[in-house]
Structure 1
Amino acid sequence: MTQPIGVFDSGYGGLTILRDIVRKLPQYDYVYLGDNARTPYGTRSFDTVYHYTRECVQHLFEAGCRLVILACNTASAKALRNIQQLDLPTLAPGLDGPDRRVLGVIRPTTEVIGNYSKTGYVGILATRGTVTSESYVVEIEKFFPDLAVFQEACPMWVPLVENGEYANPGADYFVEQHVNRLMAQSPEIDTLLLACTHYPLLLDKIREAAPPNITILSQGGIVADSLVDYLSRHPEIDAQCSKHGQRSFLTTDSTDDFDRQATIFYGEPVRSSHLAL
């Protein structure tokens, strides 16, 4: 039986995480699920994000996944804790729920972000939902209590990316606006975290807008390294993940639209199947 690693996102952005995970761990099987029919998650309530995320995780469990990565900052911020603490034993009846795991993208990032800053001042660029949740502030406090954290919500950035405007001059204004607002909070910020998986597509424009010599972090490589470490520390989970180098992609919306957009995020052609929820 195939037991892939599940990777979930509200849309396309999680493909930037999957891309880096596959580069590090190409031998594993993966199934990616994008809830494109209900995206974006960033502006939705905690209860709605939790409900949607829980439903998608349950499907991935039923598809054979023992391990699911929430490659979505909003889902990680608003749903992960409840799923881990309340739902795992009952989420997949008859599927040995306690032996299943759900991980997010926030903790791996917050465990290392302080190592990149020399001034002790870092900035977070994220969706409004992630910023409002305060998840990064709370988690960073656990690992780097002396680190000063500043946040800026960028509500226009995901629509710019998903509408194919991320490389066009029209995006410059919105990128500069939010980078400038964040930097205005403290001139000592020397590290910026792109706390949304869509934002790497805006990386060139963010670099242009940010001060010179500032460190800009994308999450894909960090999450991939964390997964390598996690599997080495949990051989019982690793042993249950099938390793045939297979990739499959699911979307809750149009497969034609998904395949066209996903290729941009994933970096190679994608062929998806439709999932009705």
Structure 2
Amino acid sequence: MARTKVALVGIGKIALDQHVPAIAASPDWELAATVSRKGTVAGVSAYTDFASFLAERPDVPVVSLCLPPVPRFDYAEAALKAGRHAMLEKPPGATLAEVHTLQALARDRGLTLYATWHSRMAHAVAPAKAWLADRAIRKVHITWREDVRKWHPGQDWVFEPGGMGVFDPGINALSILTEILPDPVHLTRARLEFPANRQTPIAAQLTFSGNVTADFDWRQEGPQTWDIDVDTDAGRLALRMGGNVLEIDGQPMAGENTIMGEYPALYARMAQLVRAGESEVDLSPMVHVADALTLGERVTTVAFDF
């Protein structure tokens, strides 16, 4: 069966590290074009202007947008108005309202819009959700600490308005939380640490209903920590390695110690949605971030530079 052509828009670190290998390995997709001011992929037609791509390549029905959140809306809107299905890197936009606008546009034009959450595709998330489904949750704690210099080297946009700061990785944890818990929770308190020279937080401590807490920090050097611990009436569940390894009462039960299965699963899901003529846009992780930025206590910490 012929593979569907897809264009990647925004050829930066995440596109090269994850999207390009996932598409190359997929039985569903052919990388037919890229759009980027600077980045390219060897052997693939490259455009620097999105309007030119849309005008010249009607044969490419799907665009995958890997741009930072702030400029992404204009590209997604243009793609949908040009009759293309759109796949959005997380977070799906800079604001909730703009994603609602894209939802309505896709619906009205009969197009697929997929707001992706790659951490939900981690190997152990589905078995964790199944295990928790009929258990009483007593306590949840998230520890999500990583090194911004490693994952976003020199990318100042993450500290500009709309860049989300530490919530760029933290929203991955929230995407897992909202997927695995049997019942929804809501934010009740937040403490946000802003570097003196930056516009978005570098660390956050969150408290939710249901005895759920989270600790996000972008200053951790050495080994990185992506853990979710859940105490229940039937034992303790832990997700390690960003949701890729499941432990029950300290014993490994499911998953694989790698993050490389997440993006292939996203592209497989996008293929399903396009074939079915459906969209998938769950904004619950982004709602928690918006609530934290609304409700959070702001604390100024030392300046940060790459």
Asked if TM exceeds 0.5, the reply is no
Which has the greater radius of gyration?
2
The TM-score bracket by the shorter chain reads 0.3 to 0.5
Higher helix share: 1
- The alignment's TM-score, normalised by the length of structure 2, stands at 0.41
- Larger RCO: Structure 1 or Structure 2 (Cα < 8 Å, ≥ 6 residues apart)? 1
Higher strand share: 2
